[in-house]
Amino acid sequence: MDPIRIAVVGMGKIARDQHLPAISGNPNFNLAATVSPNHGGEPGIPHFKTLDELLESSTGVDAVSLCTPPQVRYELAVSALRAGMHVFLEKPPGATLSEVVALTARADKVGTSLFASWHSRFAAGVAPARAWLSERVIKDVKIIWREDVREWHPGQDWIWEPGGLGVFDPGINALSILTHIMPSPVFLNTATLSLPANRAAPIAADIQFRDTAGTPIHMDLDWRQVGPQSWDIIVETDAGQLKLSNGGAVLSLPSGVERNEDMEYPGLYARFATLIRGGRSDVDLDPLRLVADAFLRGKRQSVEEFHD
């Protein structure tokens, strides 16, 4: 079976650190092209300033990974789908729920695969956590997701603009895990969003969720953390405590601690290949829906200005 010829659109840090190595390590894919107006390409690989330039060229491409900021992703995805390409959407899958729904319908109509990727779901501890919780009574959940924005998103102004999500850019990773491991659907009760006086997106958020079984879920998001970073989900059950730490990479159970190799992006590309070979799509909007609910229902408070 011939490899899937894939182009990476948007050659920033996430593309170089995660996408390119995952593609290189998967025999189902062959990197056919890169696209970026601001960054160079890879040695020996055709590079284009825009997706339109790629589509107008003679370079053969079957699929694209869209690693751009979400605010500009919809039009790129439409162009790719119109050209009959399979589309991988880096998280979050779009700037709004409605545009991702529209993309899903378009992909179904043209018969190509659309993949709304949630890389944290492929962290080593997530699948076994989901399996363990499926047989337990869950009493309480706490999410502590605190990091230093200056370390992880230096100079990325788009992330503070409408549609850039602010602190929910990392926070949606926690929600992608939460909605995957919880046996019952989750919804928002209350939220307080802290917005710097000079920014349009929050730098912190305090949120109360619960699931349809009545389980209380508290989420503490903050981009002002210094020192050790915190990416933890703690679940109290009738059989003891489950803890996912380091973004889901480490699973702690009453029976002990499990640590396995980080396979998030390799796992995403294995899933994308399976979808393409099987003629299917995978577009789960639950994490983005919870973020939208926080913006819809959340109380906003102004905090001190943020400057890089």
Segments in the chain below pLDDT 70: none
DSSP letters spanning the chain: -PPEEEEEE--SHHIIIIIHHHHHT-TTEEEEEEE-SSS---TTS-EESSHHHHHHSS---SEEEE-S-GGGHHHHHHHHHHTT-EEEEPSS--SSHHHHHHHHHHHHHHT--EEE--GGGGSTTHHHHHHHHTTS-EEEEEEEEE-BHHHHSTT-GGGGSTTS-TTHHHHHHHHHHHHHH-SS-EEEEEEEEEEETT-SS-SEEEEEEEETT--EEEEEEESB--SS-EEEEEEEETTEEEEEEGGGTEEEETTEEEE----HHHHHHHHHHHHHHHT--B---HHHHHHHHHHHHPEEEEE-----
pTM higher than 0.85: yes
- Tell whether 83 and 127 lie within a shared domain: no
Listed residues 46, 81, 116: the one ending a domain:
116
Listed residues 59, 94, 116: the one ending a domain:
116
- Tell whether 220 and 254 lie within a shared domain: yes
- How far apart, in Å, do the first and last CA atoms of the chain sit? 48
- Tell whether 19 and 133 lie within a shared domain: no
- What pLDDT is stored for residue 259 in this prediction? 80
What's the mean pLDDT when you consider all of the chain? 95
Our count of domains for the chain comes to 2
What range defines the domain where residue 147 resides? 120-262+292-303
- Tell whether 145 and 159 lie within a shared domain: yes
- What pLDDT is stored for residue 114 in this prediction? 98
Assess if residue 85 is contained within a domain.
Answer: yes
Assess if residue 267 is contained within a domain.
Answer: no
Q: Is residue 142 among the annotated active site residues? A: no
- What pLDDT is stored for residue 199 in this prediction? 96
Nearest Cα neighbor of 34 from 62, 6, 70, 74 is: 6
| CATH number of the domain encompassing residue 65 | 3.40.50.720
- What pLDDT is stored for residue 39 in this prediction? 84
pLDDT tens digit sequence for 209-260 = 999 999 999 999 999 999 999 999 999 999 999 999 999 999 999 999 888 7
- Tell whether 297 and 167 lie within a shared domain: yes
How far apart are alpha carbons 133 and 124 in whole angstroms?
Answer: 15
Assess if residue 270 is contained within a domain.
Answer: no
- What pLDDT is stored for residue 258 in this prediction? 82
How far apart are alpha carbons 306 and 308 in whole angstroms?
Answer: 7
- What pLDDT is stored for residue 38 in this prediction? 86
Active-site option among 13, 91, 139, 299: 91
